Amino acid sequence: MSLKAPITKETPIDPGWWRGAVIYQIYPRSYQDSNGDGIGDLLGIVQRLPYIASLGVDAIWISPFFTSPMKDFGYDVSDYCDVDPMFGSLADFDAVVETAHQFGIRVMIDLVLSHTSDQHPWFKESRANRDNPRANWYVWSDPKPDGTPPNNWLSIFGGSAWQWDARREQYYLHNFLTSQPDLNFHEPAVQQALLDVELFWLHRGVDGFRLDTINFYIADKQLRDNPPLPPEERNATIAPSVNPYNHQLHIYDKNQPENLDFLRKFRAVMNPFGAAAVGEVGDAQRGLEIMGQYTAGDDLMQMCYAFEFLSATPPTAARIVQVMSEVDRVAKDGWPCWAFSNHDVMRHVTRWSLSPAALRMYTTLIHCLRGSVCLYQGEELGLPEADVAFEDLQDPYGIEFWPEFKGRDGCRTPMVWEPSNQNGGFSVGRPWLPVSSEHLNMSVAAEEADPAAVLHHYRRVIAFRHAHKALMEGGHDGMKSSGDVVYFNRTHESETVFCAFNVSDTPSDLAMPKGNWVQVGAELGGGAPSADGRVHLGPWQVCLAVRV
């Protein structure tokens, strides 16, 4: 069980709590159902907070639970300041915060500010006519003379990013589903309304935010066409390869410099509360660069993550060095937040075809990188991607691009708590997505009873990270590789931790840096430095040592 001190009203504000934090992402629909309707809810999270505390994490990030028609499962908000009845009530949310704080766990919530649902009262008023008080709250445009959309922008969910609206005889912008119209951040009243939403939840006790699609907030005011992207520069980091979204260089529909002004306003609202934010940067070409821009200095976001380690590209030694060297170049003054899995991508055990030994190695690696860490529910059990039949699909993304892209349901199936029934302890009712039969033998109860299970490795790694300030907050001396081995030093004040990882199934030897080194982290299965100043690393083995 976690020994973190409870967070109370008397707890001094710690503006740096986020630095090096381990954040556990909860997809509430699939975590724990408390009332038998087959959908996870807020009281289900309360029920499982003792388990979360046992992992040793610093914070939870809860994916959207706001009032919504659920066309995109909560990422289409119709009321920012209330809880959708399927998840519970505001009182239930208060119980989440109170219980989490009793365990010393901070609560971050997922704010979707770039767009709303088309059922939001703001949009209903905006689309009524061109003269109402909120007529300019969304991105509207007249058609071209031939009636076609105003430019060539594309939606991530396929097709044009513009939808015709007969009421106003104009198009509105939607970077995602047609039912997710984009807000117009060039309108000051829109920015103020969203800052008021932020303040509402801060007063409710939240400790921070995960900001969905943070680089999509502001679009080019002139609505200029995006240029084409040469085929050799396309990749499927943000959208699947079958999606024409990859055919453009997205320099006008997102990533606008004016966004920094809004982020400064957002940070200013957080500061008196000691709250922190992590932004999701969705860009296939400039993700790390934007991450660096958005986290530079003390007046922007504390953390951001890009998609480099959420992609299908296996993290070989060369790839890891390439990514981290680019971070050093474009974001040396910023602070990344690393994740291997989340609710939008195939689980990394499957995506990278990881063996149990490889999974343990990568788990140790991510907790040794400079930055903070996001873990996705079930990752700590080593869950693979679930195979969801077409007739069971819920995700509109998967339905649209099936079978070349099966959507996101495979990583969103319910959490498995115990193997005694087909629902894995998630619900007494029929789950909204089927529980994977493959997952049942990897349930929390099964792994708790197995000393060799990966769940215990996650706990040990998280505890090891917290035991070394150099890993939580320290700098690093640059990522290096020797063959299949990645290595670097992390340093904070007088502590230096040497970290080496064999990113392969082939044994390797590495010379230690000069100095006197003592092995640490032996409980993580690491190798020890030898008397001759070298370390032998078996397949997928790590070496961790401190300078004495």
Measure Cα distances from 519 to 315, 334, 475, 505, 526 in Å: 25, 30, 20, 22, 8
DSSP of 333-351: TS-BEE-S--TTS--HHHH
**333 is annotated as an active-site residue:** no
**Residue 80 host element (H or E):** strand 79-83
Residue with tokens 């000691």: 274
CA dist 425 and 418 (Å) reads 5
**Residue 471 host element (H or E):** helix 469-473
Contact 47, 34 (CB under 8 A): yes
Which segments within 122-227 are labelled E, that is strand?
Answer: 140-141, 162-165, 170-173, 208-211
Contact 153, 161 (CB under 8 A): yes
CA dist 404 and 408 (Å) reads 13
Contact 274, 14 (CB under 8 A): yes
**448 is annotated as an active-site residue:** no
Contact 472, 478 (CB under 8 A): no
DSSP of 338-397: E-S--TTS--HHHHTT--HHHHHHHHHHHTTSSSEEEEETTGGGTPPPP---GGG---HH
Alpha helices of 406-453 — where are they, by DSSP H? 437-440, 444-448
CA dist 218 and 434 (Å) reads 38
Per-residue b or e along 9-40, where b marks 16 or more CB atoms closer than 10 Å to that residue's CB: eeeeeeeebbebbbbbbbbbbbbbbbeeebbb
First vs last Cα of the chain: how many Å apart?
A: 31
Contact 438, 349 (CB under 8 A): no
CA dist 276 and 270 (Å) reads 7
Catalytic option among 33, 110, 212, 344: 212
Token pair recorded at residue 441: 């033998």
Contact 106, 59 (CB under 8 A): yes
Tell me if residue 165 falls in helix, strand or coil.
strand
Catalytic option among 182, 280, 308, 447: 280
Closest by CA position to 495, among listed 547, 455, 536: 547
Token pair recorded at residue 364: 């140790």
Alpha helices of 58-203 — where are they, by DSSP H? 90-102, 121-126, 188-203
**Residue 33 host element (H or E):** none
Which segments within 204-321 are labelled E, that is strand?
Answer: 208-211, 276-280, 303-305
Task: Write out the catalytic residue numbers.
Answer: 212, 280
